[in-house]
């Protein structure tokens, strides 16, 4: 019997890819498992506000005298889950629209393109601000905002990829066999544009995290006393002179997470050698293809 | 058999001919007209979405704006002031007409407190302050991007390139509030060199406290130079592979001249797009950067308006920002078409 060997993916063999992967694993472990190891409660004060690190509180206390270490260990969970849910929802909706528009090339196509134009007329953060202004600062509103910001770009990317793939021989063969549209899309097209989607997902995941963290920082996202890295950075600014770690610790965690995600996505795009649009944040800031 | 087929012009498609007739002979003029029309249409749709987002979704704006002070009679009075008792579409049309003619209306938060303050009065100084911040940033951004991008491209694949690219990638990945906060930690808490907030009082201009401009500008530069220099690097590498660069080198021109006169000039055309993206990035980045440094600009104003539910002010600022966004887009497209003659035949 042949043994299936595990192959290290190409992106992890580059320096930046390996660094990114190691960082991401570390930060995700802290974000997901951290709450289990937190020595103190996140809501009750353990000493005077803004105390520098001591034996009882290795990272000192925050502006209300709560343990910074415990709050850092708790604060990654919301960052990761909101980012994941929002990006996944945006991808589900965006790839459905993109696949159908690219494959059928019917009315949906021009409508999609005009909708993208309109949504691209807003800075991303402004979309979120407008929604919060209308609906109030709640988590579902933040998720909706991120989905709205990401959806047009995703739909456009998937549409371009689908257009290219649907002229291939195996797709024509499937159509000739008389397979239904859903079957062609799901079994022939989607698997073949998966690498593109994966690379793009990484970049967008990083961007979703930034958007949500920015809203939390502005005080228009999660409400206190939730522990969240973005929120912690803004609420502890008043004690930055007393206990610098109350701001720097969550800042470092958030920075490492976004850097790791970008390093992985960048290495993945470079090694997979398939890209329909220019790389990086520029693309998300303003989608220009076609 | 004897009837001859009517003469047809097989070269120029009819759609193309019709377009020339409508917009005159010059294809560039036609392009500009079409681009501006599309931009205006986008802006109108965008303004409707903005209006709908801030006015329709919450259901009862009046009681939200009034908050704890809401009594039935005051709610009714405010509803009348804000024209909330009229249907959506007429309300939108009135608002659109007023906004388009520069009548931005009154702040709804102030109305709730019984006073009348026009939105323009609230936002004209912040607009100027933000403009100052943006212009200074762009003036530093352009040369810095070109220098770093070209430096990385000339040493593509070597250590300098890796160092520049990796730093750019990492810095570009950071949210602005993070960069801003870390800069405050370094330059204020540790070094005590620069102020963490901008102490600009209403009567002063940003130039009264030049020190306070340093950190906001640095923050905005971090993310933008990161992606700008990467784009310049990519387009320079592409141009350096062209035949005319090889030709110039074979002619024995000094490398300096090859780079500056042959490579860089041609790499600049995509840079116009980079600049446009930069301005668009700035509009988003300025919102959060100003909040970090408490800089009295349009970003701080909009965040404040959102948190006190001043729907009228939020909507006006959003429309202004969206208009700038669309305008920059159009200008960039037109400039590129003017710069690159090749594109004119395709427009």
Residue A67 has φ and ψ, to the nearest 5°, of: -70, 120
DSSP-assigned beta bridge partners for residue B106: B118
Minimum distance, in Å, between the CA of residue B318 and any CA atom of chain A? 7
Is residue A277 assigned to a domain? Answer: yes
B12 token code pair: 């120029």
Q: Is pLDDT above 70 for A104?
A: yes
Q: What are phi and psi of A60, to 5 degrees?
A: 80, -170
Whether residue A159 is contained in a domain is answered as yes
pLDDT value at residue A268: 81
User: CB contact, 8 Å: B330 with chain A?
Assistant: no
| Mean per-residue pLDDT, A261-290 | 57
pLDDT, one tens digit per residue, over A126-183 is 888 888 877 778 889 889 999 988 888 888 888 888 888 887 888 888 888 888 888 8
CA distance B60 to chain A (A): 10
Give the pLDDT confidence score for residue A99 in this predicted structure. 84
The stretch B43-67 carries a mean pLDDT of 71
Q: Using the beta-carbon criterion (under 8 Å), do A254 and B311 form an inter-chain contact? A: no
In the prediction, which pLDDT does A276 show? 41
Residue B292 near residue B179, CB atoms below 8 Å: no
Name the residue with higher pLDDT: B40 or B278. Answer: B40
Band of pLDDT at residue A280, cut at 50, 70 and 90:
very low
Q: Report how far Cα B335 is from the mean position of its chain's Cα atoms.
A: 16
pLDDT-based confidence at residue B25 (cuts at 50, 70, 90): low
For position B39, what pLDDT does the model report?
86
Contacts of A258 in chain B (CB under 8 A): 173-175
Q: Is B118 strand, coil or helix?
A: strand
| Chain A CB within 8 Å of residue B327 CB | no
pLDDT tens profile A12-42: 777 778 888 899 999 998 888 888 888 888 8
For residue A137, is it within any domain? yes
pLDDT over threshold 90, residue A89: yes
pLDDT digits (tens, 9 = 90+) for B147-201: 888 888 887 777 777 787 778 777 877 888 888 888 888 888 777 777 777 777 7
Backbone angles phi, psi at B51, to 5 degrees: -60, -45
Residues 6 or more apart whose CB falls under 8 angstroms from that of B2 comprise none
Nearest CA in chain B to A255: B174
| Per-residue burial over A212-238, b = 16 or more CB atoms within 10 Å of its CB, e = otherwise | bbbbbbbbbbbeeebbbbbbbbbbbbe
Q: How many CA atoms lie within 13 A of B31 on its CB side?
A: 17
- In what helix (H) or strand (E) does residue B139 lie, and over which residues does it extend? helix B119-154
Rounded mean pLDDT, B332-344: 71
- Cα separation, A128 vs A99, in Å, equals 26
Segment among A116-125, A254-263, B145-154 with least mean pLDDT: A116-125
Distance between CA atoms of B84 and B75, rounded to whole angstroms? 10
Domain of A236? 12-35+60-287
Per-residue pLDDT at B254 exceeds 50? yes
With CA atoms as reference, report the closest residue to A94 among A112, A120, A67, A71.
Answer: A112
Structure tokens at B5: 């087929």
Residue whose structure tokens are 């930069």 = B278
CATH number, domain containing residue A243? 1.10.3720.10
What pLDDT is attached to residue A88? 92
pLDDT of A188 strictly over 70: yes
SS3 of A132-164: the string is HHHHCCCHHHHHHHHHHHHHHHHHHHHHHHHHH
Residue B227 has pLDDT above 50, yes or no: yes
Q: What are the tokens at A8?
A: 């290290």
Residue contact B306–A129, C-beta within 8 A: yes
Average pLDDT, stretch A272-283?
A: 45
Return the number of other C-beta atoms located less than 10 Å from residue B347's C-beta. 15
Å between A287 CA and nearest CA of chain B? 10
Chain B residues with CB-CB distance to A219 below 8 A? 307
CA distance A260 to chain B (A): 9
Q: For chain A, say whether B181 makes contact (Cβ under 8 Å).
A: yes
Q: What is the pLDDT of residue B64?
A: 62
B28 Cα distance to chain centroid? 24
- List all residues of chain B from 55 to 94 with a beta carbon under 8 Å from chain A: 55-58
Q: How many CB atoms lie within 10 A of CB A284?
A: 18
Higher pLDDT, B6 or A15: A15
Residue A47 lies in a domain: no
B304 at A interface, C-beta within 8 A: no
**What is the predicted ipTM?**
0.76
Q: Which residues contact B112 (CB under 8 A, 6 or more apart)?
A: B62, B65, B66, B67, B69, B78
> Which two tokens mark B99?
């906004």
Residues B290, B293: Cα–Cα separation, whole Å: 5
Stated pTM of the model: 0.79
Percent of chain A with pLDDT over 70: 91
- What SS3 state is found at A81? helix
The residue of chain A with its CA nearest to that of B225 is: A282
Task: Look at A211 and B112; give whichever has higher pLDDT.
Answer: A211
The answer to whether B337 contacts chain A (CB < 8 Å) is: no
Is residue A120 domain-resident?
yes
Residue B129 phi, psi dihedral angles, 5° rounding: -60, -45
Tell me what pLDDT residue B343 has: 61
Predicted confidence (pLDDT) at residue B247 exceeds the cutoff of 60: yes
Q: Is the pLDDT of residue A85 over 90?
A: yes
> What would the mean pLDDT of B326-335 be, rounded to a whole number?
82
Inter-chain residue contact B45 with A118, CB threshold 8 Å: yes
Q: Are B285 and B325 in contact (CB under 8 A)?
A: no
Q: Do A133 and B303 touch (CB under 8 A)?
A: no
Mean pLDDT of the A82-94 span: 91
What is the pLDDT of chain B when averaged over all its residues? 76
pLDDT level of residue B8 (50, 70, 90 thresholds): very low
Structure tokens at B98: 């007023």
User: What are the tokens at A147?
Assistant: 């989905």
* CA B99 – CA B313 distance, rounded (Å): 11
Examine residue A104 and state whether it is found in any structural domain, yes or no: yes
How many independent structural domains does chain A possess?
A: 1
Spell out a b/e string for A136-151, using b for 16 or more CB atoms within 10 Å of the CB, else e. Answer: ebebebbbbbbbbbbb
- The partner residue sitting opposite B314, judged by closest CB among A123, A130, A285, is A130
Domain annotation covers residue A45? no
Q: Lowest-confidence range among A61-70, A181-190, B10-19?
A: B10-19
Tens digit of pLDDT for each residue in A58-69?
788 887 878 888
């Amino acid at each position: 019997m042949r043994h299936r060997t595990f192959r290290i993916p190409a992106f992890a063999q580059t320096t930046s890819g390996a660094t990114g992967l190691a960082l991401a694993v570390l930060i995700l472990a802290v974000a997901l498992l951290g709450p289990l190891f937190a020595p103190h409660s996140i809501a009750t004060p353990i000493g005077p506000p803004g105390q520098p690190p001591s034996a009882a509180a290795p990272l000192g206390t925050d502006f209300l005298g709560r343990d910074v270490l415990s709050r850092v260990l708790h604060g990654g969970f919301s960052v990761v889950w909101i980012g994941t849910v929002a990006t996944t929802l945006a991808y589900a909706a965006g790839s459905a629209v993109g696949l159908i528009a690219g494959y059928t090339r019917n009315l949906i196509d021009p409508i999609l393109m005009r909708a993208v134009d309109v949504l691209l007329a807003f800075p991303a953060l402004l979309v979120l601000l407008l929604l919060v202004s209308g609906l109030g600062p709640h988590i579902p509103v933040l998720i909706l905002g991120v989905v709205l910001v990401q959806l047009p770009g995703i739909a456009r990317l998937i549409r371009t990829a689908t257009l290219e793939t649907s002229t291939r021989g195996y797709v024509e063969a499937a159509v000739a066999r008389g397979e239904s549209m859903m079957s062609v899309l799901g079994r022939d097209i989607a698997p073949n544009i998966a690498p593109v989607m994966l690379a793009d997902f990484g970049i967008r995941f990083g961007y979703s995290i930034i958007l949500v963290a920015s809203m939390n920082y502005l005080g228009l996202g999660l409400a206190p006393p939730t522990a969240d890295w973005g929120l912690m950075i803004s609420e502890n600014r008043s004690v930055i002179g007393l206990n610098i770690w109350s701001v720097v610790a969550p800042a470092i965690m958030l920075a490492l997470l976004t850097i790791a995600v970008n390093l992985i996505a960048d290495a993945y795009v470079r090694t997979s050698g398939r890209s329909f649009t220019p790389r990086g944040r520029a693309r998300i800031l303003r989608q220009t293809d076609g | 058999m004897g009837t001859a087929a009517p003469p047809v012009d097989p070269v120029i498609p009819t759609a193309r001919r019709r377009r020339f007739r409508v917009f005159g002979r010059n294809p560039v003029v036609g392009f500009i007209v079409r681009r501006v029309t599309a931009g205006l249409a986008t802006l109108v749709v965008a303004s409707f979405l903005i209006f709908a987002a801030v006015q329709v979704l919450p259901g009862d704006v009046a009681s939200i704006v009034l908050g704890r002070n809401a009594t039935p009679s005051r709610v009714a009075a405010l509803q009348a002031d804000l024209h909330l008792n009229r249907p959506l579409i007429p309300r939108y049309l009135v608002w659109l007409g007023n906004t388009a003619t520069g009548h931005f209306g009154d702040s709804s938060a102030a109305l709730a407190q019984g006073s009348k303050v026009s939105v323009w009065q609230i936002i004209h100084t912040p607009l100027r302050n933000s403009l100052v911040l943006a212009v200074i940033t762009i003036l530093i951004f352009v040369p810095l991007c070109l220098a770093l991008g070209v430096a990385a491209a000339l040493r593509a694949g070597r250590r300098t390139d890796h160092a520049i690219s990796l730093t750019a990638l990492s810095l570009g990945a950071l949210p602005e509030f993070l960069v801003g906060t870390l800069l405050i930690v370094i330059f204020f808490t540790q070094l005590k060199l620069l102020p963490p907030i901008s102490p600009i009082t209403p009567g002063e201009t940003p130039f009264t406290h030049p020190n306070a401009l340093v950190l906001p500008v640095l923050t905005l530069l971090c993310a933008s130079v990161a992606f700008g220099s990467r784009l310049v690097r990519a387009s320079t590498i592409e141009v350096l592979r062209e035949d005319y660069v090889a030709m110039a080198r074979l002619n024995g021109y000094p490398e300096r001249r090859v780079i500056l006169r042959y490579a860089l000039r041609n790499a600049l055309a995509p840079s116009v797009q980079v600049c446009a993206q930069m301005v668009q990035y700035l509009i988003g980045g300025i919102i959060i950067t100003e909040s970090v440094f408490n800089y009295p600009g349009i970003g701080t104003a909009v965040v404040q308006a959102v948190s006190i539910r001043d729907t009228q002010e939020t909507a006006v600022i959003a429309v202004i920002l969206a208009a700038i966004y669309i305008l920059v887009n159009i200008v960039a497209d037109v400039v590129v078409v003017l710069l690159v003659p090749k594109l004119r035949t395709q427009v």
